Amino acid sequence: MDILLVEDDPETALYVTEGLQKLGQAVHWATTGKDGICQARAGHYALMIVDRMLPGMDGLSMVRMLRAESCDTPVLMLTTMSGLDDRVDGLNAGADDYLTKPFAMSELAARVNAIVRRTSRNGTSTRLKAGSLEMDLLERTVSREGRQVELQPQEFKLLEYLMQNAGRTITRMMLLENVWNLDFDPGTNIVESHMSRLRSKIDRGHSTEMIHTVRGHGYVVSP
């Protein structure tokens, strides 16, 4: 699951990012409201975690602008302001939930899951399916024909991106940008080695391959 974190404090950003990554989430970090808006417009996120006090454009203004553009991505607002009026302002601006700093990672994770579950009931699925493969984004599980497939976090993230684009050819550069958050080619076989391990795990015991190489172009998962 891809999460956009908009937070200007490096210590808080590191705390949130490391905590959510340990839970298998992919976190993309922006440090200003304007940068957050640009990333929100360009990406497809399951959730945005937005600090209220940001340099330049504050979190409330950022959320209001995105809501005015019909962006319906759920928002969890972070703040040091715990007053009732402050929470009301955040919710009225378009936030879905409000969390006061400092906070425990367990509470943040619980609120993230609660927001995603509510979004799921409103029509956004937390399960992906491609052919005989099924992925549960909340439970972080993968199965093929009912048999569980154990994946490492980066393998899960790689398969998630491929399944989100099932039937579409995904280039190596697209994988580097969206799975490894790299905007350059490091010149290593990182994609190929992860792809090889992923294929061996999901195809083990099956006669047909799920991930196909499109020679000279990239990879595609059977829809």
Mean pLDDT of 108-113: 88
Q: What is the pLDDT of residues 180-190, one digit of tens each?
A: 878 788 888 99
Q: Domain 2-121 falls in which CATH fold? A: Rossmann fold (3.40.50)
Q: How far apart are CA 211 and CA 169, in angstroms?
A: 10
Choice between 120 and 1, residue whose per-residue pLDDT is larger? 1
What average pLDDT does range 131-157 have in this prediction? Answer: 88
Contact 3, 20 (CB under 8 A): yes
Residues of the chain with CATH 3.40.50.2300: 2-121
CATH of span 127-221: 1.10.10.10
| pLDDT reported for residue 25 | 85
- State phi, psi for 12 to the nearest 5 degrees: -65, -40
Quick: pLDDT tens for 23-62. Answer: 888 899 999 999 999 999 887 788 999 999 999 899 999 9
Q: What is the pLDDT of residue 124?
A: 52
**CA pair distance 135, 22, nearest whole angstrom:** 18
Instruction: Answer yes or no: is pLDDT of 148 > 60.
Output: yes
Q: Find all residues with CB under 8 Å of 115, minimum gap 6, and list them.
A: 47, 74, 76, 96, 97
